Structure 1
Amino acid sequence: MSSTASIETTTSTSHILDNPAWAALTGPHAHFAERVGRAARYPADVAGFHAITDNDDPRAWADLAALVGPGGAASVRGVDEAPDGWEIVRSGQGVQFVDTGLRAEPDPEAVLLGPADVPEILDLVARTEPGPYLPRTVELGTYLGIRHEGRLIALAGERLHPPGWTEISAVCTDPDHRGRGLATRLVRAVAAGIKERGDHPFLHAAANNTNAIRLYESIGFTLRARTLFSLIRRTGPTVAADPRESAADPEETA
């Protein structure tokens, strides 16, 4: 979507994927979380996602203000009007897909990628622009790649991890090697690992990325939700967070 930091918010918690970053940061990815009460984020070199419990809760916005500091910015999900003390810089539409018929299977050519591969991953991401990828994003889950003559030419992996779900992300192929089905093979291979541990695959895309959307629908993903992503910046003073809210509240860690 954007190379800036991002924040997931929701006005409803009827489904865990309504607020996947919050569910991940207070669940399987809690060991990554930097948290102030009702707001949380990943470290800046891991992922750009921030999250709050409820975008209608002033206490959550106060905690977010304390977390990002004066002038702090993030890409906000589901907010089309800036709360007091914030301004929207720009917005874009996004879509969320869930697996309803994907054939998941390992790929014999897919290789596991790790920290030593990060320079190559960042180079491929810079040339293909699948979305934000940072030096420690590889720590969020399994990343698989395909090489040609030793060079990384295709990539896909795991990002957000709400309980019971895992997001497939960073799906990209070198322009010189497109049209060979490499992205499909890697999505299926990553999904095989996700399903093997009992989770369900899901993913996000920009609403105007018609090629990616066509691919995902053709291999068994179904549109679940449309949402608005906005770059939002803190303009007001930081409000001190309530120290009683600094510990996790079991009722807010859905």
Structure 2
Amino acid sequence: MSFHPLDRVVLSALTSSRQSHLAVKEGGAVRMAPGYGVFAAALHPSQLGDMARLPLPEGKLVTVEAEPQDLPAGFGLERQATLLQMTLTALKAGKTREVPMERLTDADAPQMLELARLTEPGPFFDKTHLLGAFYGVKQGGRLLAMAGERMKPDGFTEVSGVCVRPDAQGRGYAAALMRHVIEDILGRGETAFLHSYDYNTRAISLYEGLGFSVRAPMHMRTLVPI
């Protein structure tokens, strides 16, 4: 690659040693397998047109790129936003509330999907929880909060799916769960990264408190067929 792996994070993940098996390819375009996510990329800007050949059971694709790209033929723009891509190589020392958490399993998938739909932490589908380790906090069997892993370019793992039910916020669940996920990532000798909408100052403050710093702004676009 002639670019930093995180500049074209979707392409890097779907050609990595850990997630290439999730790649669905059509010509010079690739997307994450349906059920896992809607992220897609063209191998080269000249191959953007091949994205129209990708399967679209969800009715959309999402691109995340450091450099803006032309709109692929056959698609309209449903949404665009600026994300801040943040990286972490060492957790900041600090007190995080001890909370009872557990590794989530397939049995938790319906509750994970319901929580993600309620809080909208980002694209989340029925197999998204299989992209990496997810941890959660439960009360009486009810899932209150979770955090886990998503895209995995070689040497990097994305912290994602961080969400807390509205009636359980303010208890330190997000920070505690993220710290646990990050410890796993750093323990493998990898760099942790994540994405946040640039206007989400509350979330950015939480991430900075853990040790994340902004690496680069990223262009996110949700594409729908026309």
TM range (shorter): 0.7 to 0.9
- Residue 42 of structure 1 aligns with an amino acid whose one-letter code is M
Aligned to 1:129: 120
Determine whether 1:90 maps to 2:79. Answer: yes
Moved more, 224-233 or 22-31: 224-233
For the residues of structure 2 that align with 1:137 and 1:144, how far apart are their CA atoms? Answer: 13
- Residue 67 of structure 1 aligns with an amino acid whose one-letter code is L
Identity %: 37
Aligned to 2:32: 42
Q: Is the 8 A contact 1:81 1:88 kept in 2?
A: no
Aligned to 1:208: 199
Determine whether 1:171 maps to 2:158. Answer: no
Aligned to 1:232: 223
For the residues of structure 2 that align with 1:120 and 1:83, how far apart are their CA atoms? Answer: 35
Aligned to 2:52: 65
- Residue 38 of structure 1 aligns with an amino acid whose one-letter code is G
For the residues of structure 1 that align with 2:111 and 2:73, how far apart are their CA atoms? Answer: 42
For the residues of structure 1 that align with 2:48 and 2:132, how far apart are their CA atoms? Answer: 29
Aligned to 2:64: 77
Q: Is the 8 A contact 1:13 1:19 kept in 2?
A: no
Which runs of 5 or more structure 1 residues have no equivalent in the other structure? 1-11, 236-254
TM-score computed with the length of structure 1 as normaliser: 0.78
Aligned to 2:7: 18
- Residue 162 of structure 1 aligns with an amino acid whose one-letter code is P
User: How far did 1:62 drift?
Assistant: 3.1
1:193-236 alpha-carbon deviations (Å, 9 max, x no partner): 1112221110011122221111111221001111222223455x
Aligned to 2:100: 109
For the residues of structure 2 that align with 1:181 and 1:64, how far apart are their CA atoms? Answer: 41
Which runs of 5 or more structure 2 residues have no equivalent in the other structure? none
TM-score computed with the length of structure 2 as normaliser: 0.87
Distance of aligned partners of 1:152 and 1:37 in 2 relative to their CA distance in 1, 3 Å threshold: same
Aligned residue pairs, count: 218
Q: Is the 8 A contact 1:50 1:74 kept in 2?
A: yes
For the residues of structure 2 that align with 1:158 and 1:77, how far apart are their CA atoms? Answer: 17
